[in-house]
Amino acid sequence: MPGTPTTQKPPATSAGANGGENFDGEGSEVEGPVSSFQSYAAEGDILAKQGEFRKAIEAYTKALNMRPTEKNCLVARSKCYLQLGDSDLALQDAEAALKEDTEFFKGMYQKAEALYAKGDFEMALVFYHRGNKLRPELDEFRLGIQKAREAIDNSIGNPRDYKFKAPANFSLDATKQQLPPPGSRTVGQMKKPARTSERSTGVVVNTMNNTKKIIPRGESASSSTPERDVKQLLGELYADKEYLEQLLNDRDFINNPNDRIFGLVSDGLKYLETRTEFWRQQKPIYARRKEAAAIRSKMASARNRQLAREQEKAKDRESPTPSPTSLQAPHSPRPAGQGTTPKASPTKVAVANPQALRAQVLSLMGTAELELNHYPAAEKCYLEALAIPAIPIDTKSMTLGYLGRSYAKLKKFGQAAQYWEQKLALNTPQSDVEKAWLYHDVARCYIEQGNDAKAKLNAQSAAECAMQSKDPRWILNTQVLLGQLFAKSDPAKARAGYETALRYANELQEENAATVISQALEGLAAA
């Protein structure tokens, strides 16, 4: 209303200390010098977004000196501590924020994150669950629950794989668990201390196959970790760790010390050590090795299944289709008193041409070896398949193509060209695209051998087949090959090939190829 004084609230100036970056919550009403507090908090938010976490902590600390109980600012400073690897101080700020409001979901999430960073995955899981109960619509808590459970499983393994062995005299009956009075126990009845190796190493359990296994306990950050494990845990950061250690032990640096550089190097090494310990607890070495072995086994199983499917297809192609009457059991009268018909025994179908089937299987085995980059083994399988006189014509064509590829991988370009030419000479239906890449690869083999005459002939044949197929990518490849071969002997023909290739490269939006072709055209013009 006119004449009525209105109170204007200061605008929200931050996303970390005054509203949160990942959450949409309401700020807290506080009292005090608003302008100074807001300026320090806003400065901290800006510095945190820029990655200047130490300076951001200083700004947040100045703001908290004015309002020590401002929970959003405490959470923002906790995030900065966590980014610097100081999980203890991050946990303190998160707990201080929760002390003001026990149901403050940002503080709940930040405490869970700090506990997770400390390696206390069980308690982190507890607070992730509490936060998810408060704000189930937020993805952060669900992801936190997932990663905490995964870290716990990696640390102690799947509980279903272990069966804890109860003591010999253990019973669920309360009457049987009554202990004698302390004075009546003799020295021989005293419980012997656990063996040092089991007490210090971990918990001994019986696995499902009745073998003992030790679940390792969490080790302290000061425990020594082999360099091989450190390298595996840090990954690409291991090179940075080596560089910082060399810099710290450098003779020139020792003779001419610099406090600022020394502090930065020490902080970097401390951070990497903290990360190493965290990653060792989050996913121990044995869990990483087990995961890698499982991936390798899964890949091998997939390749074996693919090979089995190919073999089944080959058998189906070669096996004659039995007539419906041949699979029926011979008619026999039903004996008196029986209510069921005797089951027909399975009929064995003979393979019409076992040698042809063997050639197909050998060719498939060679293809599997080729995919595994086992080129000598692939060559052996292909040659054995080609040596079988009864090899089907389509199997022979496929085998010749793959054998040429194997020789090309082995840098035996003469033999590669020989088998590809045999494939081209076969009286089998081949598409224009297939002929284009065959002639193209044969030409490349002759280029490697220095035989330009045969290379040009095959390149021209490849270009003709590519034009007939109307495949833009193979037209591009073959025209570039023509330009390379005729650059010295026939510049006009080379220019025509490059110009055609450039047009198709632009159509395919192949920017790198277009750049290289343009440079080749400029070279022809300069020559």
**Three-state helix/strand/coil letters over 136-181:** CCCHHHHHHHHHHHHHHHHHHCCHHHEECCCCCCCCCCHHHHCCCC
Residues 182-203 have pLDDT tens digits of: 444 444 444 444 443 433 344 4
In this prediction, residue 288 has a pLDDT band, given cuts at 50, 70 and 90, of low
> Is the pLDDT at 15 greater than 60, yes or no?
no
> Is the pLDDT at 27 greater than 80, yes or no?
no
Q: Give the Cα separation of 300 and 92 in Å (integer).
A: 49
Q: Tell me the CA distances in angstroms from 31 to 19, 65, 169, 306, 389, one per residue in order.
A: 17, 13, 64, 70, 96
Contact indicator for 314, 364 with CB cutoff of 8 Å: yes
> Is the pLDDT at 171 greater than 80, yes or no?
no
The region of weakest confidence among 247-261, 298-312, 320-334, 492-506 is 320-334
Q: Give the Cα separation of 455 and 485 in Å (integer).
A: 8
Q: Give the Cα separation of 210 and 163 in Å (integer).
A: 9
- Architecture per CATH, domain 34-160, reads as Alpha Horseshoe (1.25)
pLDDT of residue 11: 44
In this prediction, residue 286 has a pLDDT band, given cuts at 50, 70 and 90, of low
pLDDT of residue 46: 92
**DSSP letters of 473-515?**
HHHHHHHHHHHHHTTTT-HHHHHHHHHHHHHHHHHTT-HHHHH
Contact indicator for 483, 497 with CB cutoff of 8 Å: yes
> Is the pLDDT at 77 greater than 90, yes or no?
yes
Comparing 210 with 41, the larger pLDDT belongs to 41
pLDDT of residue 524: 81
The single-letter DSSP state of residue 182 is G
Question: Where do the DSSP E strands lie in 188-247?
Answer: 202-207, 212-216
Nearby residues of 489 by Cβ (< 8 Å), 6 or more positions away: 452
What torsion do the CA atoms of 498, 504, 507, 508 make, to the nearest 10 degrees? -110
Adjacency order of strands within the sheet including 202-207: 162-163, 202-207, 212-216
Q: Tell me the CA distances in angstroms from 426 to 210, 223, 395, one per residue in order.
A: 62, 69, 11
Q: Give the Cα separation of 98 and 78 in Å (integer).
A: 12
In this prediction, residue 254 has a pLDDT band, given cuts at 50, 70 and 90, of confident
In this prediction, residue 352 has a pLDDT band, given cuts at 50, 70 and 90, of low
* Both tokens assigned to 27: 């700020």
Comparing 489 with 79, the larger pLDDT belongs to 79
pTM of the predicted structure, to 2 decimals = 0.37
Comparing 120 with 344, the larger pLDDT belongs to 120
**Amino acid making up residue 186:** T
Q: Tell me the CA distances in angstroms from 332 to 282, 328, 338, 342, 477, one per residue in order.
A: 69, 12, 13, 9, 69
Burial class of residue 310 in the structure, from the number of CB atoms within 10 Å of its CB (0-12 exposed, 13-18 middle, 19+ buried) = middle
Q: Kindly report the number of other CB atoms within 10 A of residue 347's CB atom.
A: 10
Fold of 430-527: 1.25.40
pLDDT of residue 168: 58
Q: Give the Cα separation of 323 and 22 in Å (integer).
A: 69
In this prediction, residue 84 has a pLDDT band, given cuts at 50, 70 and 90, of confident
> Is the pLDDT at 362 greater than 70, yes or no?
yes
Q: Give the Cα separation of 114 and 100 in Å (integer).
A: 18
Residues 380-437 have pLDDT tens digits of: 999 999 999 888 888 888 999 899 999 999 889 999 999 999 888 888 788 888 888 8
Q: Give the Cα separation of 78 and 121 in Å (integer).
A: 18
Give mean pLDDT, residues 138-163: 76
In this prediction, residue 279 has a pLDDT band, given cuts at 50, 70 and 90, of low
Rg (CA), the chain: 37
Comparing 296 with 406, the larger pLDDT belongs to 406
Biggest distance spanned by C-alpha atoms of the chain? 113
> Is the pLDDT at 230 greater than 60, yes or no?
yes
The region of weakest confidence among 12-21, 33-42, 142-151, 462-471 is 12-21
* Both tokens assigned to 233: 């845990």
pLDDT of residue 507: 87
